[in-house]
Amino acid sequence: MDQGTEGESHGGSPSAVAPEPVRFTGSGAEYFGIWIVNLLLTIVTIGIYSAWAKVRRLQYFYRHTELAGSSFDFHGSPIKILIGRLVALAMLIAYNYTVRIQSVWTLAVVGGIALIMPWMLRNSLRFRLYNTSWRGVRFHFRGSVARAYRVFLLYGILSLITLYILAPFMHQRVKAYQHNNSWFGQTRCSFHARAGQFYKLYLLLAAAMVAFVIVVGYSGVFGAFAALAEAQKHGQRVNPYATFRALAILYGLLITIGVSIGPVFHALITNLIWSSTRVGEHRIECNMSPLGLIWISFSNLVLVAVTLGLFIPWASVRMARFQLEAVRLIPAGDLQQFVDAEPDQVGAVGEEAASAFDFDISL
């Protein structure tokens, strides 16, 4: 999985510097203590503590992530996150309320949210990067607002009206916007994957989905849906157990995709994205094993379900270790010479709104 390096020339880069693997040193048992205290305080304060909980959680993961002997750090302020969460909650309530109770306001609220979302997504990137540091030097995001509207809104609408044929293209543009405008101190990052490489992986995804549907179709599972649809068409009484069975099968199929095709695609696209990203002249290599990710996703799902969620801290730590340790930095020179830049001023509203509406632009 070395798509990121093919065809690129690195004539002048010195090869004497050894690759630096990312190491993750967290442990599930340790994180359990932090997680359960976070959970309890969040419940007792009816959610207000969740902002402090988020800071603790991120600090736990960042500070246990090590590169070249030094750990990362998270600097987000809980108060800013709390304000962000309250704004996001208000938006979410307005959205759900107006979508359920349709009125003249529905269009205004949905349209308004769509219009401010690109701006919020950009602020979300600014907040997350600015509050991340390594060896005391902070990351920055300097993408323009105009570009955010082009990438998220214009390309979003385009991919929607072309029935997602443009979705891989949009994905590539989003990542290019994200990574080309990221800075580590005064060092700019760059993104080198082409849309064609995204299309290749999305075609693989589409082929896998078609194959899945064919295999499932041959196994006769769809019979349950067909019988249901047939009964409804002829206005017959529908046996509630048949409905239940069909729903259970649908749920099972979604879970199956979630622990098979899902992780494979995630591993391949993550490898492509990160292996195509550079920090200045330093290259990144991401080599996540698709089969390994299937195993982690599947075992996490089973263990979280049978422990009624108590396995969550171990699941999060296993997943973080697996994904982070797949990454290495190929230094083009000395890692001691990065220099910090001017501080940014940025609130957390964008970050919280983006996660409330489930936009995953995670790093």
Partner 1 sequence: MLTADYFDGRSTRVRVVRLEVGGESLLISGEDIDRRVPFSEVKVDERLGRAPRRLRFADGAFCVVSDLNALDALLASIAHHDGWVDRIQRRARFVLLCLAACGVLAVAAYKWGLPWAAEIGAAHTPAGIGVKLSDQALEVLDGKILLSSRIGEDRRRQLNAKFHALRLPGGGTEQAELLFRRSPQLGANAFTLPDGRIIVLDDLITIVGDDRQILATLAHEAGHGHGNHGMRMLLQNSLVGAFLAFYVGDISNLLAIAPATLMQARYSRDFEAQADDYAAAVLRLNGMSPGLLADALDKLAKSHREGAGAAYLSSHPATDARMHHLRSQ
| Residues of the shown chain interacting with partner 1 in the complex, contacts defined by CB under 8 A | 25-27, 30-34, 36-37, 39-41, 43-44, 50, 56, 59-60, 63-64, 69-71, 73, 96, 100-103, 134-137, 185, 232, 235-240, 251, 254-255, 258, 300-301, 304-305, 309-310, 312, 315-316, 335-340
Q: What is the secondary structure of 15-28 as a DSSP string?
A: --SPPEEEEE---H
Task: For the CB of residue 7, give the shortest distance to partner 1 in the complex, in Å.
Answer: 31
The label of the residue with tokens 């990438």 reads: 151
Collapsing DSSP to helix, strand or coil, 138 comes out as strand
Please say which residue, 153 or 310, places its beta carbon nearer to partner 1.
Answer: 310
| Comparison of 6 and 342: residue with beta carbon closer to partner 1 | 342
User: How remote is the C-alpha of 224 from its chain's centroid?
Assistant: 34
User: How many other CB atoms are found less than 10 A from the CB of residue 195?
Assistant: 15
Nearer to partner 1, 62 or 199 (CB): 62
Q: How many CA atoms lie within 13 A of 290 on its CB side?
A: 14
In whole angstroms, the minimum distance from the beta carbon of 224 to partner 1 comes to: 17
The total of other beta-carbon atoms located within 10 Å of residue 187's CB is 18
| Cα-only R_g, the chain | 23
Question: What is the nearest approach in angstroms of partner 1 to the Cβ of residue 166?
Answer: 25
**Three-state secondary-structure class, residue 7:** coil
Q: Where are the alpha helices (DSSP H) in 163-260?
A: 167-180, 195-218, 223-233, 240-258
User: In the bound complex, what is the minimum distance in angstroms from residue 72's beta carbon to partner 1?
Assistant: 10
Our CB check for partner 1 shows the closer of 256 and 287 to be 256
Query: Which residues, 6 or more positions from 194, have their beta carbon under 8 angstroms from its beta carbon?
Result: 172
CB of 340 to partner 1, least distance (A): 5
Q: What is the DSSP string of 185-206?
A: TTEEEEE---HHHHHHHHHHHH
Q: How far is the CB of 161 from partner 1 (least distance, A)?
A: 27
CB of 158 to partner 1, least distance (A): 27
Helix axis angle, 104-130 to 78-100, nearest 10° = 160
Query: Quick one: 195 or 228, whose CB is closer to partner 1?
Result: 228
